């Protein structure tokens, strides 16, 4: 079975189960369908801590997911909301936004055709959610506001199509509520009708569903890894594993 896939603004890459890899020469990136032999490694990457050579290990992905869940009052095991009042925690929302970037930087879904956007964040939303393009871009602007400045304003650079945004966050049941009047970027002219409202609870719910989608795509043979040139899948994952030595006390 051969698959020809264009991933974002990358050139089309030829992927096949028999050959498994073709090099995308222009961008020096390998697009690798995760084959059955690699499924256990992939599940380990997304799963709980494991012991390797007398060290306790977990992936950077898993570490970020656990932090996000702890900060937003969710079960660290399955992401279920345990304390709803904590779901609006800003630091937890930041961890979920970082996870979206992480996913888009490293993985794709072979069943999805994305919008051609090379930004990791939007690439992840293309591949592992059903959000409309405009909603993906609103969340990208929230990501820039939170992670770059830790505030609620996004004033886009000139010559971009992004609108200025004045965000308000909540823990309601609607992910994105767009303003009835666009914000012109001048705080002196700001009105309540200019607010873009985001539910941080629903943001967390969305990323938890992205996590589940990643796991499903492993089982359906649709998870694609974006590898640096001349890197095996195992090396790719090992580079993103965090380990610490197990003390003698912890084994008693």
**Half-sphere exposure of residue 97: CA atoms within 13 angstroms, side-chain side:** 22
Query: Domain tally for the chain?
Result: 1
The percent of residues above 90 in pLDDT, for the chain, comes to 54
- % of the chain surpassing 70 pLDDT: 81
Averaged confidence pLDDT in the chain: 82
Stretch 82-91: mean pLDDT: 97
Q: Are strands 23-24 and 29-33 parallel, antiparallel or unpaired?
A: antiparallel
pLDDT digits (tens, 9 = 90+) for 97-133: 999 999 999 898 988 865 566 789 999 999 999 999 9
Over residues 14-24, the mean pLDDT reads 31
Q: Is 252 within a domain?
A: no
Q: Note whether 162 and 156 are within 8 A (CB).
A: yes
List helix spans (H) across the chain. Answer: 39-46, 60-71, 90-106, 120-128, 133-144, 200-219, 233-238, 248-251
DSSP class of 185: S
Residue 189 per-residue DSSP state:
G
Residues 142/94, Cβ–Cβ less than 8 Å: no
CA distances to 145, 155, 179, 186, 198 from 165, rounded to whole Å, are: 9, 7, 9, 10, 11
Structure-block tokens of residue 74: 């969710």
Q: Report phi then psi at 43, rounded to 5.
A: -65, -35
pTM: 0.82
Per residue in 180-235, pLDDT (tens digit) is 999 999 989 999 999 999 999 999 999 999 999 999 999 998 998 887 777 777 78
Where residue 30 falls among pLDDT bands split at 50, 70, 90? Answer: low
Give the domain range for residue 68. 2-246
Distance CA 32, CA 14 (A): 10
Is residue 142 assigned to a domain?
yes
With respect to residue 195, please indicate whether it lies within any of the assigned structural domains: yes
The pair of structure tokens assigned to 134 is: 């405009």
Query: In 3-state terms, what secondary structure has residue 79?
Result: coil
Which of 161-165, 241-245, 246-250 has the weakest average pLDDT? 246-250
Per-residue pLDDT, 217? 92
Beta-strand relationship, 223-228 and 241-245: unpaired
Nearest to 207 by CA among 54, 104, 86: 104
pLDDT value of residue 249: 58
- Determine, yes or no, domain membership for 251: no
């Amino acid at each position: 079975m051969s698959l020809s896939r264009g991933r974002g603004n990358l050139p089309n890459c030829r992927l096949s189960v028999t050959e498994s890899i073709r090099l995308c020469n222009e961008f020096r990136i390998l697009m690798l369908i995760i084959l059955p032999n690699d499924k256990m490694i992939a599940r380990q990457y997304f799963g709980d801590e494991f012991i390797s050579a007398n060290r306790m290990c977990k992936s950077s992905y898993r570490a970020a997911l656990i932090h996000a869940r702890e900060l937003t009052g969710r079960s660290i095991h399955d992401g279920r909301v345990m304390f709803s009042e904590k779901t609006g925690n800003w630091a937890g929302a930041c961890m979920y936004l970082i996870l979206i970037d992480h996913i888009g930087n490293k993985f794709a879904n072979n069943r999805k055709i994305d919008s051609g956007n090379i930004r990791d964040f939007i690439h992840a939303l293309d591949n592992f959610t059903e959000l409309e393009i405009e909603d993906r871009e609103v969340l990208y602007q929230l990501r820039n506001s939170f992670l770059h400045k830790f505030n609620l304003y996004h004033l886009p650079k000139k010559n971009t199509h992004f609108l200025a945004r004045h965000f308000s966050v909540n823990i309601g049941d609607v992910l994105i509520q767009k303003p009835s009047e666009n914000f012109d970027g001048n705080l002196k002219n700001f009105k309540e009708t200019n607010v873009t409202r985001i539910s941080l609870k629903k943001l967390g719910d969305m990323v938890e569903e992205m996590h589940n989608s990643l796991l499903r795509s492993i089982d359906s043979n649709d998870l694609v890894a974006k590898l640096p040139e001349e890197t095996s899948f195992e090396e790719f994952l090992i580079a993103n594993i965090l380990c610490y030595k197990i003390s003698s006390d912890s084994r008693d």
